[in-house]
Amino acid sequence: MMPFACDVLTLFPEMFNAVTQYGVTGKAWKNRIFELTTWNPRDFSHNSHRTVDDSPYGGGPGMVMMAEPLEEAIMQAKSRQQGLGITHPEVVYLSPQGEKLTHATVKELSLGSGLIFVCGRYEGVDERLIVRQVDREISIGDYVLSGGEIAAMVLIDAIVRQIPDVLGDPESANQDSFVNGLLDYPHYTRPEIYRGDQVPEILMSGNHAHIQRWRLQQSLGRTWSRRPDLLETKLAHGMTTEEQKLLEEYKQSHKTR
Ligand code: 9WO
């Protein structure tokens, strides 16, 4: 299979070693499941100081990334991806003004064959670059970072683990929290008693059907108590009679404690 192609525009290319060198994404990169090419906007600067930023029109604090070096870097990234046979690589800009990242967005992006990530620094990027070149502006949450790099890595990590073969067991990604619209159930491993705390009896029973039902109930219950917003969505898409029964039972046992 052709690797999933990531082209990243960044002033700090070495930050991306975090995804290519470690863990599940590191292994996927080594196995050429995805590839990552960085483009430093400084290499596209038009002056000898390699400047890529300037002060904002209208005044105010800080600096703004200039459109020209970024647009030229995007052109290079696009022609590289087109050379790989990727006809329409989407350009993604990471910013707090973007659409909020969800598992659905991750899935959608993972279905393509390549993406170009624009990582901003300073106070942001000249709006004309965004209007001209960016297909999707994505936020990973309502907070401000020092730049788009860590957000891009969050997105790359989430996308890569959706690619078939990345997780050893082909079912693994489907077991992830959020796939069924619910939070994960609690996990336990040895020892059976940790500082006086017992592993829930049912997990020691060997009864797989019972364990499965208990885990689903924990997922439902935790979603109800911690993320009622997610449960509303799940409810709107329809819950089985079994799921409703398990949740009612969980609510009941939580009132009486
Ligand atoms: C910094 C700043 C300083 C003084 C006054 C206003 C300011 N705005 C910013 C700012 O928003 N900087 C951003 C840094 C510019 C775009 C790249 N940066 C960024 C991306 N920070 N946080 C993100 C981000 C990306 C995706 N999801 C959440 C946050």
Q: In what order do the strands lie in the sheet with 34-39?
A: 34-39, 4-9, 114-118, 90-100, 136-139
pLDDT at 223: 98
pLDDT digits (tens, 9 = 90+) for 223-253: 999 999 999 999 999 999 999 999 999 999 9
* Ligand 1 site, residue 147, Cβ cutoff 6 A: yes
* Ligand 1 site, residue 144, Cβ cutoff 6 A: yes
pLDDT at 257: 56
Tokens found for residue 92: 């993604």
Bridge partners of 139, per DSSP, are 100
List helix spans (H) across 111-240.
127-133, 149-160, 172-175, 208-226, 228-236
User: 74 C-alpha vs ligand 1 centroid, how far in Å?
Assistant: 20
pLDDT digits (tens, 9 = 90+) for 122-141: 999 999 999 999 999 999 99
**128 carries an active-site annotation:** no
Q: What is the rounded CA–CA span in Å between residue 44 and residue 9?
A: 11
User: 102 C-alpha vs ligand 1 centroid, how far in Å?
Assistant: 20
pLDDT at 167: 86
pLDDT at 179: 78
pLDDT at 177: 75
Q: Which residues of the chain have pLDDT under 50?
A: none
